């Protein structure tokens, strides 16, 4: 949502979904902007009664880098509205998302120059749209109209499933098995019984192997 820099400027949503920014004398009406995937190219359009010669900077930028210019985080272009047959001035700029980072973007504009200084004072800088998602190039929308070239903001995406290797699976299985079946130490009585049995066997073997002369000394 656009945030006014002047109390005289009002912002409202029109019935056709456009963003109207006006102070009663001058106004701008921006077409809606949808979510996109990396690689999309789309136009940002608006109509206005700003006089010809007014220059604006239109920016589509990752919200975390709104005040920092880092490569791959946004696109900036300079536009100048031109008069059309309806008598109003129109402007359009192409946004190319190729090479941009994924995330939440905002659309802003700033007045660079105008024949009327009051436009610079009242419409200096505006955030027109926020919450504009830019999805990864391989994101797949579950539903999209064939006639629509841009993705709807309500479109749901199904991320690609992660690949799990057999090695990872085996490792997880081994760890789980070890942790669920701990080794139990032998009881002390069992150890003592085993020792006694060993002594008896040793004594028996020694007796059997004695020299017959030892049994009959005479």
Q: Output the pLDDT for position 151.
A: 34
Domain assignment present for 166: no
pLDDT in tens, 124-147: 888 999 999 999 988 764 433 332
- Structurally, the chain folds into a number of domains equal to 1
Q: Give the 3-state secondary structure of residue 107.
A: strand
In a domain, 174, yes or no: no
pLDDT digits (tens, 9 = 90+) for 73-93: 999 999 999 887 667 899 999
What does the alpha-carbon distance between residue 199 and residue 75 come to, in Å, rounded to a whole number? 89
Range of the domain at 102: 10-158
- Give a yes or no: residue 198 inside a domain: no
What is residue 65's predicted lDDT score, i.e. its pLDDT?
A: 82
Q: What's the CA gap between 45 and 111, in Å, rounded?
A: 16
136 in any annotated domain:
yes
Q: Is 16 inside any structural domain?
A: yes
For residue 69, give the CATH number of its domain: 2.20.130
Are the C-beta atoms of residues 20 and 1 closer than 8 Å to each other?
A: no
211 phi/psi in degrees, rounded to 5: -70, 135
Inside any domain, residue 39: yes
Q: Residues 177-204: pLDDT tens digits?
A: 444 445 555 566 667 767 777 776 766 6
């Amino acid at each position: 949502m656009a945030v006014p820099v002047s109390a005289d400027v009002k912002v409202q949503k029109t019935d056709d979904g456009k963003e109207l920014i006006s102070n009663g004398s001058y106004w701008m009406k921006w077409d809606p902007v949808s979510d996109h995937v990396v690689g999309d190219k789309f136009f940002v359009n608006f109509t206005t009664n700003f006089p010809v010669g007014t220059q604006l900077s239109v920016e589509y930028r990752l919200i975390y880098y709104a005040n920092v210019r880092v490569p791959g985080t946004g696109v900036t272009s300079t536009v100048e509205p031109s008069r059309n047959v309806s008598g109003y001035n129109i402007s359009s700029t192409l946004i190319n998302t190729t090479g941009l980072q994924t995330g939440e973007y905002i659309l802003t504009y700033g007045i660079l120059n105008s024949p009327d200084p009051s436009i610079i004072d009242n419409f200096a800088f505006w955030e027109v749209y926020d919450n504009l998602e830019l999805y990864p190039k391989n994101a797949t929308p579950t539903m999209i109209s064939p006639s629509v070239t841009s993705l709807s903001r309500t479109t749901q995406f199904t991320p690609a499933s992660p690949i799990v290797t057999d090695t990872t699976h085996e490792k997880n299985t081994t760890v789980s098995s070890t942790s669920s079946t701990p080794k139990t130490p032998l009881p002390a009585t069992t150890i003592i019984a085993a020792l006694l049995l060993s002594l008896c066997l040793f004594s028996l073997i020694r007796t059997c192997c004695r020299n017959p002369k030892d049994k009959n000394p005479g």
